Amino acid sequence: MIRLIILGAPGSGKGSQCKWITKDYDVPHISTGDILRKNIADGTPLGLEAKEYMDKGALVPDELVINLLKNRLQEADCKEKGFLLDGFPRTLDQAKALDSYLTENGLSIDKVINLHVPDEEIMGRALNRRTCSNPECKEIYNMRDNPPKEEGICDKCGSKLFVRDDDNEITVTKRLATYHAQTEPLIAYYTEKGILATVVGQERLEDTIALVKEQLA
Ligand code: ADP
Ligand code: ZN
Protein backbone atom coordinates (compact mmCIF):
# COMPACT_ATOMS: atom_id res chain seq x y z
CA MET A 1 0.00 0.00 0.00
CA ILE A 2 1.50 3.29 -1.11
CA ARG A 3 0.11 6.78 -1.76
CA LEU A 4 2.04 8.82 -4.30
CA ILE A 5 1.76 12.00 -6.33
CA ILE A 6 3.79 12.68 -9.44
CA LEU A 7 4.28 16.33 -10.36
CA GLY A 8 5.76 17.58 -13.60
CA ALA A 9 5.12 19.88 -16.53
CA PRO A 10 3.08 18.61 -19.47
CA GLY A 11 5.54 16.70 -21.63
CA SER A 12 7.97 15.96 -18.80
CA GLY A 13 7.41 12.22 -19.19
CA LYS A 14 5.19 11.58 -16.17
CA GLY A 15 3.20 9.03 -18.14
CA SER A 16 6.24 6.81 -18.75
CA GLN A 17 7.11 6.82 -15.05
CA CYS A 18 3.52 6.04 -14.07
CA LYS A 19 3.55 2.96 -16.31
CA TRP A 20 6.25 1.14 -14.35
CA ILE A 21 5.33 2.50 -10.90
CA THR A 22 1.75 1.25 -11.19
CA LYS A 23 3.08 -2.24 -12.13
CA ASP A 24 5.97 -2.51 -9.67
CA TYR A 25 4.01 -1.19 -6.71
CA ASP A 26 0.66 -2.71 -7.72
CA VAL A 27 -0.97 0.65 -7.14
CA PRO A 28 -3.90 2.17 -9.07
CA HIS A 29 -2.78 4.84 -11.55
CA ILE A 30 -5.21 7.76 -11.40
CA SER A 31 -4.87 10.31 -14.18
CA THR A 32 -7.48 13.08 -14.04
CA GLY A 33 -6.73 13.83 -17.73
CA ASP A 34 -7.64 10.21 -18.65
CA ILE A 35 -10.81 10.29 -16.54
CA LEU A 36 -11.87 13.57 -18.16
CA ARG A 37 -11.16 12.27 -21.67
CA LYS A 38 -13.18 9.15 -20.90
CA ASN A 39 -16.10 11.34 -19.79
CA ILE A 40 -15.83 13.31 -23.03
CA ALA A 41 -15.79 10.11 -25.10
CA ASP A 42 -18.84 8.80 -23.19
CA GLY A 43 -20.65 12.13 -23.59
CA THR A 44 -21.39 12.56 -19.88
CA PRO A 45 -22.52 15.98 -18.55
CA LEU A 46 -19.18 16.26 -16.77
CA GLY A 47 -17.39 15.54 -20.04
CA LEU A 48 -19.39 18.18 -21.89
CA GLU A 49 -18.49 20.80 -19.32
CA ALA A 50 -14.82 19.82 -19.12
CA LYS A 51 -14.35 19.75 -22.90
CA GLU A 52 -14.83 23.53 -23.25
CA TYR A 53 -11.86 24.18 -20.97
CA MET A 54 -9.65 21.38 -22.25
CA ASP A 55 -10.04 22.48 -25.88
CA LYS A 56 -8.72 25.90 -24.91
CA GLY A 57 -5.74 24.41 -23.09
CA ALA A 58 -7.11 25.81 -19.82
CA LEU A 59 -7.57 23.95 -16.57
CA VAL A 60 -10.97 22.48 -15.74
CA PRO A 61 -12.51 24.27 -12.69
CA ASP A 62 -11.22 23.00 -9.34
CA GLU A 63 -14.63 22.03 -7.98
CA LEU A 64 -15.27 19.69 -10.88
CA VAL A 65 -11.94 17.82 -10.72
CA ILE A 66 -11.92 17.74 -6.92
CA ASN A 67 -15.30 15.97 -6.83
CA LEU A 68 -14.27 13.63 -9.56
CA LEU A 69 -11.08 12.72 -7.72
CA LYS A 70 -12.76 12.22 -4.33
CA ASN A 71 -15.25 9.84 -5.93
CA ARG A 72 -12.42 7.90 -7.50
CA LEU A 73 -10.50 7.64 -4.20
CA GLN A 74 -13.55 6.06 -2.59
CA GLU A 75 -13.42 3.07 -4.92
CA ALA A 76 -12.31 -0.26 -3.49
CA ASP A 77 -8.95 -0.50 -5.28
CA CYS A 78 -7.71 2.78 -3.75
CA LYS A 79 -8.86 1.77 -0.30
CA GLU A 80 -7.00 -1.50 -0.59
CA LYS A 81 -3.87 -0.50 -2.52
CA GLY A 82 -3.47 3.28 -2.26
CA PHE A 83 -2.99 5.43 -5.35
CA LEU A 84 -0.60 7.10 -7.76
CA LEU A 85 -1.97 10.53 -8.70
CA ASP A 86 -0.97 11.83 -12.13
CA GLY A 87 -2.19 15.29 -13.18
CA PHE A 88 -3.77 16.00 -9.81
CA PRO A 89 -3.37 18.22 -7.84
CA ARG A 90 -2.67 20.94 -10.41
CA THR A 91 -3.49 23.97 -8.26
CA LEU A 92 -2.92 24.93 -4.63
CA ASP A 93 -6.66 24.73 -3.95
CA GLN A 94 -6.74 21.19 -5.31
CA ALA A 95 -3.81 20.25 -3.06
CA LYS A 96 -5.56 21.71 -0.02
CA ALA A 97 -8.81 19.93 -0.86
CA LEU A 98 -6.90 16.66 -1.19
CA ASP A 99 -5.24 17.24 2.19
CA SER A 100 -8.59 17.85 3.90
CA TYR A 101 -10.02 14.72 2.34
CA LEU A 102 -7.04 12.61 3.43
CA THR A 103 -7.03 14.05 6.96
CA GLU A 104 -10.76 13.39 7.33
CA ASN A 105 -10.11 9.79 6.35
CA GLY A 106 -6.98 9.34 8.49
CA LEU A 107 -4.73 8.98 5.43
CA SER A 108 -1.56 10.69 4.22
CA ILE A 109 0.69 10.97 1.16
CA ASP A 110 3.92 8.97 1.36
CA LYS A 111 5.86 10.84 -1.30
CA VAL A 112 5.59 13.45 -4.03
CA ILE A 113 7.92 12.91 -6.98
CA ASN A 114 8.68 16.15 -8.79
CA LEU A 115 9.89 15.27 -12.28
CA HIS A 116 11.90 18.24 -13.45
CA VAL A 117 12.62 18.85 -17.12
CA PRO A 118 13.72 22.26 -18.43
CA ASP A 119 11.23 24.05 -20.72
CA GLU A 120 13.62 24.04 -23.71
CA GLU A 121 13.95 20.28 -23.41
CA ILE A 122 10.16 19.81 -23.25
CA MET A 123 9.76 22.03 -26.32
CA GLY A 124 12.46 20.11 -28.21
CA ARG A 125 10.81 16.77 -27.39
CA ALA A 126 7.35 18.00 -28.42
CA LEU A 127 8.49 19.38 -31.77
CA ASN A 128 10.35 16.14 -32.55
CA ARG A 129 7.53 13.84 -31.48
CA ARG A 130 5.73 11.65 -34.00
CA THR A 131 2.74 9.57 -33.03
CA CYS A 132 1.41 6.44 -34.74
CA SER A 133 -1.93 7.18 -36.43
CA ASN A 134 -3.29 3.73 -35.62
CA PRO A 135 -5.60 4.23 -32.62
CA GLU A 136 -4.93 0.67 -31.47
CA CYS A 137 -1.17 1.34 -31.38
CA LYS A 138 -0.43 5.03 -30.60
CA GLU A 139 3.32 4.28 -30.38
CA ILE A 140 5.40 7.42 -29.81
CA TYR A 141 8.67 8.20 -31.59
CA ASN A 142 11.16 11.01 -31.36
CA MET A 143 12.94 12.08 -34.53
CA ARG A 144 15.99 13.04 -32.50
CA ASP A 145 16.40 10.32 -29.86
CA ASN A 146 14.19 7.47 -30.97
CA PRO A 147 13.36 7.62 -34.69
CA PRO A 148 11.46 4.85 -36.50
CA LYS A 149 13.47 2.54 -38.77
CA GLU A 150 11.67 3.85 -41.85
CA GLU A 151 10.84 7.54 -41.95
CA GLY A 152 7.20 8.34 -41.21
CA ILE A 153 6.22 4.69 -40.65
CA CYS A 154 5.48 2.93 -37.35
CA ASP A 155 7.95 0.08 -36.57
CA LYS A 156 5.30 -1.79 -34.65
CA CYS A 157 2.30 -1.75 -36.97
CA GLY A 158 3.36 -0.13 -40.26
CA SER A 159 0.85 2.74 -40.01
CA LYS A 160 1.73 6.34 -40.85
CA LEU A 161 3.17 8.61 -38.19
CA PHE A 162 1.81 12.11 -37.65
CA VAL A 163 2.42 15.25 -35.57
CA ARG A 164 -0.21 15.69 -32.86
CA ASP A 165 -2.20 18.94 -33.06
CA ASP A 166 -1.04 20.04 -29.64
CA ASP A 167 2.66 19.40 -30.35
CA ASN A 168 3.23 22.86 -31.77
CA GLU A 169 5.24 25.73 -30.38
CA ILE A 170 2.29 27.98 -29.47
CA THR A 171 0.30 25.32 -27.61
CA VAL A 172 3.32 23.93 -25.77
CA THR A 173 4.32 27.45 -24.70
CA LYS A 174 0.81 28.06 -23.39
CA ARG A 175 0.67 24.81 -21.44
CA LEU A 176 4.09 25.46 -19.90
CA ALA A 177 2.96 28.94 -18.81
CA THR A 178 -0.16 27.45 -17.17
CA TYR A 179 2.05 24.92 -15.42
CA HIS A 180 4.47 27.54 -14.08
CA ALA A 181 1.70 29.83 -12.86
CA GLN A 182 -0.73 27.33 -11.34
CA THR A 183 1.06 24.06 -10.59
CA GLU A 184 4.64 25.01 -9.74
CA PRO A 185 3.65 26.53 -6.36
CA LEU A 186 2.89 22.96 -5.27
CA ILE A 187 6.63 22.26 -5.19
CA ALA A 188 7.05 24.66 -2.27
CA TYR A 189 3.86 23.37 -0.66
CA TYR A 190 5.05 19.75 -0.56
CA THR A 191 8.64 20.69 0.22
CA GLU A 192 7.37 22.35 3.38
CA LYS A 193 5.57 19.15 4.29
CA GLY A 194 8.89 17.30 3.89
CA ILE A 195 7.61 14.75 1.37
CA LEU A 196 8.89 16.13 -1.95
CA ALA A 197 11.68 14.50 -3.93
CA THR A 198 12.90 16.12 -7.12
CA VAL A 199 14.18 13.94 -9.94
CA VAL A 200 15.74 15.52 -13.02
CA GLY A 201 14.40 13.85 -16.16
CA GLN A 202 17.25 12.26 -18.14
CA GLU A 203 17.62 11.82 -21.86
CA ARG A 204 17.21 8.06 -21.56
CA LEU A 205 14.04 6.74 -19.98
CA GLU A 206 15.89 3.94 -18.12
CA ASP A 207 18.11 6.54 -16.42
CA THR A 208 15.12 8.51 -15.17
CA ILE A 209 13.46 5.31 -13.96
CA ALA A 210 16.58 4.43 -11.97
CA LEU A 211 16.56 7.86 -10.28
CA VAL A 212 12.86 7.62 -9.37
CA LYS A 213 13.45 4.10 -8.01
CA GLU A 214 16.14 5.46 -5.70
CA GLN A 215 13.69 8.02 -4.33
CA LEU A 216 10.96 5.46 -3.72
CA ALA A 217 13.26 2.89 -2.12
P1 ADP B 1 -1.38 16.53 -20.49
O2 ADP B 1 -2.06 16.46 -21.82
O3 ADP B 1 -0.75 17.84 -20.17
O4 ADP B 1 -0.60 15.35 -20.08
P5 ADP B 1 -3.59 15.69 -18.87
O6 ADP B 1 -3.86 14.54 -19.73
O7 ADP B 1 -3.19 15.47 -17.47
O8 ADP B 1 -2.55 16.67 -19.49
O9 ADP B 1 -4.85 16.66 -18.87
C10 ADP B 1 -5.40 17.18 -20.05
C11 ADP B 1 -6.29 18.36 -19.72
O12 ADP B 1 -7.28 17.96 -18.76
C13 ADP B 1 -5.59 19.54 -19.05
O14 ADP B 1 -5.03 20.40 -19.98
C15 ADP B 1 -6.73 20.19 -18.27
O16 ADP B 1 -7.57 20.96 -19.11
C17 ADP B 1 -7.54 18.99 -17.82
N18 ADP B 1 -7.13 18.53 -16.47
C19 ADP B 1 -6.55 17.34 -16.14
N20 ADP B 1 -6.31 17.25 -14.83
C21 ADP B 1 -6.72 18.43 -14.29
C22 ADP B 1 -6.73 18.99 -12.98
N23 ADP B 1 -6.23 18.31 -11.93
N24 ADP B 1 -7.24 20.23 -12.82
C25 ADP B 1 -7.73 20.93 -13.86
N26 ADP B 1 -7.75 20.48 -15.11
C27 ADP B 1 -7.25 19.24 -15.35
ZN1 ZN C 1 1.75 1.83 -34.79
91 shares a domain with 163: no
Question: Does 164 qualify as catalytic in the annotation?
Answer: yes
- Tell me, what CATH number does 47's domain have? 3.40.50.300
Q: How confident is the model at residue 9 (pLDDT cuts 50, 70, 90)?
A: very high
**pLDDT tens for each residue of 14-27:** 988 999 999 999 99
The neighbour count for residue 187, using CB atoms within 10 Å, is: 15
List the domain range (segments joined by +) for residue 131.
Answer: 119-167
71 shares a domain with 24: yes
Q: How far is the CA of 151 from the centre of ligand 1 (A)?
A: 31
**pLDDT tens for each residue of 48-87:** 999 998 887 789 999 999 999 999 999 999 999 999 999 9
Is 173 domain-assigned? no
Is 13 domain-assigned? yes
Ligand nearest to the CA of 153: 2
Is 159 domain-assigned? yes
The share of the chain scoring above pLDDT 90, in percent, equals 82
Is 44 domain-assigned? yes
Give the list of residues 6+ apart from residue 143 with CB closer than 8 angstroms, or none.
128, 129, 130
Is 206 domain-assigned? yes
211 shares a domain with 191: yes
Using a cut of 0.75, tell me whether the model's pTM lies above it: yes
Is pLDDT of 204 > 90?
no
111 shares a domain with 17: yes
101 shares a domain with 205: yes
Q: How confident is the model at residue 138 (pLDDT cuts 50, 70, 90)?
A: confident
- Measured CA to CA in angstroms, residue 167 lies from 53, 128, 137, 181 at distances of 18, 9, 18, 20
Ligand nearest to the CA of 141: 2
Q: Are 86 and 18 in contact (CB under 8 A)?
A: yes
Query: Which run of H or of E encompasses 40?
Result: helix 32-42
208 shares a domain with 197: yes
Which of 129, 174, 204, 213 is an active site residue?
A: 129
Q: How confident is the model at residue 146 (pLDDT cuts 50, 70, 90)?
A: confident
Report whether the peptide linkage leading into residue 28 is cis, meaning its omega lies within 30 degrees of zero: no
54 shares a domain with 152: no
Interatomic CA distance for residues 124 and 118, integer angstroms: 10
In the chain, the number of structural domains is 2
137 shares a domain with 80: no
Closest Cα partner for 29 from 20, 42, 39? 20
Question: Does 37 qualify as catalytic in the annotation?
Answer: no
87 shares a domain with 126: no
- The pLDDT value given to residue 164: 84
Q: How far is the CA of 146 from the centre of ligand 2 (A)?
A: 14
86 shares a domain with 156: no
Q: How far is the CA of 157 from the centre of ligand 2 (A)?
A: 4
Is 174 domain-assigned? no
